[in-house]
Amino acid sequence: MPRDMIAKREKELPASRIGRLLKIAEEDKSIISLGPGEPDFGAPKNVIRSAKKALDRGYTHYSPPVGRAELRGELIRKLKRENGIKAGDENILVTTGSTEGILLALMCLLDDGEGVIIPDPGFLAYKPVVEVLNGLPLPVHLREEDNFQYDTDRMKEIIIPEKTKAIILNTPSNPTGTVFSRKSLEEVADFAVEHNLLVISDEAYEKFVYGGAKHVSIGSMNGMEDRVITLHSISKSYAMAGFRVGFATGPEKVIGAMAKMHVFTTLSAPTIGQVAATEALRSGQRDSERMVREYDRRRRYIYRRVNEMEGFESREPQGAFYLFPRFGFRMKSEKFADLLLSKAKVAVVPGTEFGRFGEGYIRLSYASPYSKIVQAMGRIEKAVKRLK
């Protein structure tokens, strides 16, 4: 095939290492993977039962593009109860995972050359999606000393006035495990108002908060209802990533535009996924809390173990299911991740997968069974001892 059959926009996309890493970890059973970005648990039993029943009853067709009515009803109640967000029918859209929500929001907001402030280190999809849409990613360095939260002074330095449309916010954060404080969110909100920006608030890990930290939705703050597109997902909250259902909530005008676009992207989120999501919102809370308790146990263990090892330092993560330690060995993140893979047989993700300011860090996921994490820590400890 002639090389130029593939569009420039695709050729310019960075190749993701994470896919390769996950493949290696799957093929070589001697490797312990601390790479996963999704829960190791199965979906709640009630959810599986309702999905099976729905299949038997013939729920194998498309759904209305905006989402099934009973799910939308549950979602409106969830937003009020859990997030303090008042939403009507015109403010919500069911998407194919929050991944589609990110894509649709940016497709509907961005004209060519317009800027989007993104976190760095931050979730790896933000930058490529902005670029694919001919937008301009404006990465803001999230510094460890700021507990990896946005610093509005830095945002002021990089914003292109009149040409910047939105800020992407992710709390609890992947890969840093940071939960943005209310104060920090207030600063981001003030910044958005001052510069007339929309905020895309990715809250995929909303349920994963520990040790007294509290998740706050910026969309619930005074005066922000017309500026915030909030993205939620069942993937992490209920261990249902394969059902591919997410939710977008926001101003009627933006949600309407996203709904129009959605007809041309995926038409509707999977019907069976929506039936399962309805059940999860109705009865999955206990299951979700049980999983979060187990994550917390793992979090405390991995945080303690990593900080005990020479050559590592990590802040205590308060959210999501990742530890993002800094390492003190003289090599790049990618090289260090390769070394852990070959010498310790542990798969981790290099910090640079999440942006250039991730250099010097690795991401360890604790969405793996406790016993595997214990084993992996032992292997890493042994491998890095040889490095000194």
Q: Site residues (CB under 6 A) for ligand PLP?
A: 37, 97-99, 123, 170, 174, 202, 204, 233, 235, 241, 246
Under 8 Å between Cβ of 344 and 328: no
CB of 175 to ligand PLP, least distance (A): 8
Residues in the chain: 388
Smaller CB separation from ligand PLP, 115 or 121: 121
C-alpha angle with apex 253: 115 to 172, nearest 5 degrees?
55
CB of 172 to ligand PLP, least distance (A): 9
**Residue nearest ligand PLP (C-beta atom):** 97
Kindly compute the dihedral angle of the four CA atoms of residues 244, 245, 249, 255, in this order, to the nearest 10 degrees: 70
Smaller CB separation from ligand PLP, 203 or 287: 203
Spatial distance between the Cα atoms of 49 and 348, rounded to a whole number of angstroms? 34
Smaller CB separation from ligand PLP, 99 or 333: 99
Smaller CB separation from ligand PLP, 277 or 384: 277
> Would you call 24 helix, strand, or coil by DSSP?
helix
CB of 330 to ligand PLP, least distance (A): 30
The pairing of beta strand 362-365 with beta strand 349-350: antiparallel
Smaller CB separation from ligand PLP, 91 or 170: 170
CB of 210 to ligand PLP, least distance (A): 17
CB of 57 to ligand PLP, least distance (A): 26
Smaller CB separation from ligand PLP, 96 or 184: 96
CB of 98 to ligand PLP, least distance (A): 4
CB of 311 to ligand PLP, least distance (A): 27
Smaller CB separation from ligand PLP, 135 or 273: 273
CB of 319 to ligand PLP, least distance (A): 11
Q: Where are the alpha helices (DSSP H) in the chain?
A: 8-11, 17-27, 45-56, 69-78, 97-109, 126-132, 152-158, 182-194, 234-237, 252-265, 271-283, 285-308, 333-339, 370-385
Query: Could you tell me which residues come within 8 angstroms of residue 343 by beta carbon, excluding any fewer than 6 positions away?
Result: 383, 386
> Of the candidates 107, 59, 126, 129, which has an alpha carbon nearest to the alpha carbon of residue 265?
107
Residue whose entry in the numeric block shows the structure tokens 């920006």: 197
Spatial distance between the Cα atoms of 29 and 64, rounded to a whole number of angstroms? 42
Phi, psi of 79 (to 5 degrees): -60, -40
Smaller CB separation from ligand PLP, 129 or 344: 129
Spatial distance between the Cα atoms of 277 and 50, rounded to a whole number of angstroms? 10
